[in-house]
DNA sequence: CTGAAAGCGCTTACAG
DNA sequence: CTGAAAGCGCTTACAG
């Protein structure tokens, strides 16, 4: 016969049941706020729980509950269009998924086309039908995102914003850049490079550049301008918005401006399209103009290497994904507190440190 | 009467036992390589395990085994001496500890005095007596560290190096900077700032500056020099080693050099003592000399803010600690693969992004 | 060398 | 509204 004796810690549900003089099932009901408990019993059990400062054992809970947690991810497709930027978050998401798989969490990723609101809505609908326990999303289209997250709220499904925020929504957390601050840092870097009298050209390239507070590119531009203003930098700032993203158009527009303004000494591109600008300068043998841009993506490395791009400002795309998933995990499974806003560090990547840049 | 029915996945130890026609205890013995199994049974069970591609359920394992995991950490004391640098790793260690506490891991930190080998040995001895399952250490004193880790190996206790490496030891992992590369990046930054004809002063400040391959400061200096060499930078490099760390001595030495060499336009300090150098320049109203140094510590922020220090090179001290603990956790509890070497990113911190710098 | 049974802390399906 | 019992997947202490 077996006699398994162990020192019993006596501070689990069993002890609660004993002290409150109720059954385990009742304790469980109270802990999870499930119905079917009389007011009187409820009070009694609650009191004991408080007295004991009971902390549930996550392991026991996970083992007993066959419940699997399902997280949904809604991010843009990974393609040339976005310079493969979303490869970063996606890989971080994968990393986190593997780490928490043994805790019974399964992560499903849904994609949408950055140029197609309908694809966003379609994927969002799929998620709503899929009965997920938590959602991580890049709220690319504001209105559609709000509609989606409102539904999530109604269904009490927590969601985390990644890469861009909608401040008024009740997201569990926002994880991503402070765009304005990154532009401000850009201003400082420009100031290190630009020569007295040189002009700075800010280039925004995107299919749609509406002047709203939500516009990512304009927020960065604003940051640059603020830096110049506050530090009384004398170099003149020119700017150009390009809403046709074909390489040809970009090249034409850039060359036009450069020819008209020969004193331009530095180009600041507010997103990963900096690669196209770099390509254009290289192709046309323009090497008196320095470049600062955004995002370390495969195609930008070459231009960093050969010195055509001096600085890239990066915001840890991989870590954004990793942290996004872990935030849901911490909240839903571990019951840990999660920060409402987590601004990524604003990293400066150069020829000499890009190889060490990760997560 | 209760009838709990659930779909049974049938791929756990129970199924192994069934297929191999042995008891659960025997399966357990085989899985953990414990003695007391006949060769024949061993083979049989092993075969079944392989056939099933059995993956142990970590949750079940953790719940059943009362075993708590104990990790020991051996790092320098957090004090003014080291500019509170070790606050970073310590806070990362704390963060990780909280995250894995629910998995039954307890982390105990031991400190040593950076100026006292004996204190290192004393703490190391304590750890050996403490029966720990995994160790995270900063191998500050080479010989003593080797002696310690050799003992660990003999006892089959895995250990992870943090912040500095001893490449020949069989550590589970090294997590920390590539010092040479950080110096190389320093070279690039210097090149952005220094004016033609200006001299660069490299300053190493440490109680002991022995010219060995292990010397952290000299490795960084080497990096800077390589950058200058390979990129044919013409600015002259001067250097000075200061082995007395009192503020007074540092100030005296720095002023001496600056007076003798009025063309020095930039000082590169190879560690967090950059703060003392900055203080010295500020006090003596020297503002034609730019400064690049290492480590974002509380005292350096002011000098970043007021523009006396231009760049700080940082290597994510907090993340080093976090990752160090998680590496042991992944290896010992989750059975995940861990990288042998994890070089931290080499971050550039300025006035405009320090506030976003973390982990 | 081997196995039957109890138990880890919790949840769940069922009976009342 | 409440409770007794089985079970999650594994480990352990004991008997043989």
Long-range contacts from B75-82, C-beta under 8 angstroms, 24+ separation: B75/B109, B75/B110, B75/B111, B75/B112, B75/B136, B75/B137, B75/B138, B75/B162, B76/B111, B76/B112, B76/B113, B76/B114, B76/B138, B76/B140, B77/B111, B77/B112, B77/B113, B77/B114, B78/B111, B81/B114, B81/B115, B82/B114, B82/B272
User: Band of the pLDDT at A335, cuts 50, 70, 90?
Assistant: confident
Q: Are A315 and A347 in contact (CB under 8 A)?
A: yes
B185 to chain A, any CB pair closer than 8 A? The answer is yes
What's the mean pLDDT in B320-345?
A: 93
Q: Which residues of chain B does CATH 3.40.50.2300 include?
A: 66-175+317-344, 179-314
pLDDT digits (tens, 9 = 90+) for B26-50: 999 999 888 888 888 999 898 999 9
Mean pLDDT of chain A: 91
Of B6, B344, B348, the CB nearest to A66: B6
Distance CA A83, CA A300 (A): 9
User: Band of the pLDDT at B334, cuts 50, 70, 90?
Assistant: confident
Strand C-proximal residues of A, range 297-316, CB below 7 A, are none
Radius of gyration of chain A (CA): 26
Indicate yes or no: strand D within 7 A of the C-beta of A33: no
Interface test with A, best of B348, B357, B359 (most A CBs within 10 A): B348
- At residue A33, does pLDDT exceed 90? no
Strand C bases contacted by the protein (CB, 7 Å)? 1-15
- Sorted by sequence, the CB contacts under 8 Å of residue B4 that are 6+ apart come out as none
Contact yes or no for A345 and B334 at CB 8 A: no
Contact yes or no for A6 and B66 at CB 8 A: yes
The nucleotide whose C1' lies nearest the CA of A45 is: D2
- What percent of chain A shows pLDDT beyond 70? 96
- At residue A248, does pLDDT exceed 60? yes
pLDDT digits (tens, 9 = 90+) for B265-302: 999 999 999 999 999 999 999 989 999 999 998 889 99
Cβ count within 10 A of residue A256:
11
- What's the Å distance between residue A1 CA and nucleotide D15 C1'? 6
User: Band of the pLDDT at B245, cuts 50, 70, 90?
Assistant: confident
pLDDT digits (tens, 9 = 90+) for A79-117: 877 768 899 999 999 999 988 888 889 999 999 998 899
What pLDDT score was predicted for residue A104? Answer: 87
Interface test with B, best of A352, A354, A357 (most B CBs within 10 A): A352
pLDDT digits (tens, 9 = 90+) for A300-320: 999 999 999 999 999 999 999
What's the mean pLDDT in A255-265?
A: 95
The nucleotide whose C1' lies nearest the CA of A64 is: D8
Interface test with B, best of A12, A25, A102 (most B CBs within 10 A): A102
Q: Which residue is nearest to nucleotide C6 (CA to C1')?
A: A4
Distance CA B109, CA A270 (A): 45
Contact yes or no for B352 and A184 at CB 8 A: yes
| CATH of span A179-314 | 3.40.50.2300
Residue matched to tokens 């060769």: B39
Contact list in B for residue A346 (CB cut-off 8 A) is 352-353, 356
What pLDDT score was predicted for residue B190? Answer: 97
- What percent of chain B shows pLDDT beyond 70? 96
B103 to chain A, any CB pair closer than 8 A? The answer is yes
Mean pLDDT of chain B: 91
What pLDDT score was predicted for residue A213? Answer: 66
Q: Are A199 and A236 in contact (CB under 8 A)?
A: yes
Distance CA B253, CA B258 (A): 9
Contact list in B for residue A345 (CB cut-off 8 A) is 347, 353, 356-359
What pLDDT score was predicted for residue A80? Answer: 76
What pLDDT score was predicted for residue B213? Answer: 66
Distance CA B226, CA B237 (A): 11
| B11-48 fold | 434 Repressor (Amino-terminal Domain) (1.10.260)
What pLDDT score was predicted for residue A359? Answer: 53
Q: Which residue is nearest to nucleotide D12 (CA to C1')?
A: A4
- At residue B357, does pLDDT exceed 80? yes
What pLDDT score was predicted for residue B114? Answer: 87
What pLDDT score was predicted for residue B79? Answer: 84
Contact yes or no for B187 and A352 at CB 8 A: yes
User: Band of the pLDDT at B2, cuts 50, 70, 90?
Assistant: very low
Distance CA B154, CA A358 (A): 35
Per DSSP, the residues of B226-260 read HHHHHTT--S-EEEEEE----HHHHHHHHHHHHHH
Contact list in B for residue A351 (CB cut-off 8 A) is 188
- At residue B8, does pLDDT exceed 60? no
Strand C-proximal residues of A, range 61-90, CB below 7 A, are 61, 63-67
Q: Are B195 and B156 in contact (CB under 8 A)?
A: no
B95 to chain A, any CB pair closer than 8 A? The answer is no
What's the mean pLDDT in B88-114?
A: 92
Q: Which residues of chain A does CATH 1.10.260.40 include?
A: 11-48
Q: Are B90 and B78 in contact (CB under 8 A)?
A: yes
Q: Are B149 and B171 in contact (CB under 8 A)?
A: yes
What pLDDT score was predicted for residue B207? Answer: 81
What's the mean pLDDT in A2-8?
A: 38
pLDDT digits (tens, 9 = 90+) for B255-271: 999 999 999 999 999 99
Contact list in A for residue B353 (CB cut-off 8 A) is 181, 185, 345-348
What pLDDT score was predicted for residue A3? Answer: 33
What pLDDT score was predicted for residue B174? Answer: 97
**CATH class of the domain whose range is A66-175+317-344:** alpha beta
- At residue A173, does pLDDT exceed 50? yes
Strand C-proximal residues of A, range 43-62, CB below 7 A, are 56-57, 59-61
B109, with CB counted inside 10 A (0-12, 13-18, 19+), is middle
In Å, how far are B189, B195, B209, B256 from B240, measured between CA atoms? 20, 21, 11, 11
B:302-331 residues touching chain A, CB 8 A cutoff? 330
How many residues does this entry show for chain A? Answer: 359
pLDDT digits (tens, 9 = 90+) for A150-166: 999 999 999 999 999 99
- At residue A9, does pLDDT exceed 70? no
Q: Indicate the SS3 state at residue B9.
A: coil
What pLDDT score was predicted for residue A203? Answer: 97
CA distance B317 to chain A (A): 14
pLDDT digits (tens, 9 = 90+) for A39-89: 889 898 989 999 888 988 888 988 888 788 999 999 999 987 776 889 999
- What percent of chain A shows pLDDT beyond 90? 69
Of B59, B178, B350, the CB nearest to A59: B59
Please report the sign of the dihedral spanned by the C-alpha atoms of residue B259, residue B263, residue B267, residue B268.
Answer: negative
User: Band of the pLDDT at B331, cuts 50, 70, 90?
Assistant: very high
User: Band of the pLDDT at B1, cuts 50, 70, 90?
Assistant: very low
Q: Are B109 and B93 in contact (CB under 8 A)?
A: yes
Of B102, B185, B353, the CB nearest to A346: B353
B56 to chain A, any CB pair closer than 8 A? The answer is no
pLDDT digits (tens, 9 = 90+) for B126-142: 999 988 999 999 998 98
pLDDT digits (tens, 9 = 90+) for A271-295: 999 999 999 999 999 989 999 999 9
Indicate yes or no: strand C within 7 A of the C-beta of A36: no
């Amino acid at each position: 016969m077996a006699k398994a004796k162990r020192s019993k810690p006596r501070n689990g549900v069993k002890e609660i049941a004993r002290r409150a003089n109720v059954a385990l099932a009742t304790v469980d009901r109270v802990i999870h706020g499930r119905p079917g408990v009389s007011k009187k019993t409820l009070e009694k059990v609650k009191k004991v729980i408080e007295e004991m400062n009971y902390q549930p054992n996550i392991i026991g809970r996970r083992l007993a509950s066959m419940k699997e947690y399902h997280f949904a991810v809604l991010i843009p497709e990974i393609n040339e269009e976005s310079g493969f930027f979303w490869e970063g978050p996606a890989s971080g998401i994968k990393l986190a998924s593997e780490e928490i798989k043994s805790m019974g969490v399964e992560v499903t990723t849904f994609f949408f086309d950055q140029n197609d609101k309908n694809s966003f809505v379609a994927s969002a609908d799929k998620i709503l039908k899929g009965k997920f326990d938590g959602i991580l999303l890049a709220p690319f289209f504001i209105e559609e995102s709000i509609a989606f997250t409102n539904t999530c709220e109604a269904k009490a499904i927590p969601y985390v914003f990644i890469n861009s925020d909608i401040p008024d929504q009740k997201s569990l957390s926002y994880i991503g850049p402070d765009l304005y601050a990154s532009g401000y840092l850009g201003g400082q870097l420009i100031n290190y490079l630009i020569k007295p009298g040189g002009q700075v050209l800010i280039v925004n390239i995107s299919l749609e550049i509406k002047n709203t507070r939500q516009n990512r590119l304009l927020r960065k531009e604003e940051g640059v301008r603020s830096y110049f203003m506050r530090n009384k930098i004398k170099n003149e700032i020119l700017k150009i918005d390009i809403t046709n993203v074909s390489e040809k158009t970009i090249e034409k527009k850039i060359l036009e401006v450069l020819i008209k303004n020969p004193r331009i000494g530095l180009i600041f591109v507010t997103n990963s399209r900096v690669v196209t600008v770099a390509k254009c300068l290289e192709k046309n043998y323009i090497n008196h103009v320095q470049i600062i841009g955004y995002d370390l993506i495969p195609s930008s490395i070459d231009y960093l290497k050969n010195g055509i791009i001096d600085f890239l400002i990066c915001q840890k795309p991989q870590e954004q994904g990793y942290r996004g998933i872990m935030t849901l995990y911490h909240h839903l499974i571990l019951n840990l507190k999660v920060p409402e806003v987590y601004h990524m560090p604003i990293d400066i990547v150069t020829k000499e440190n890009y190889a060490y840049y990760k997560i």
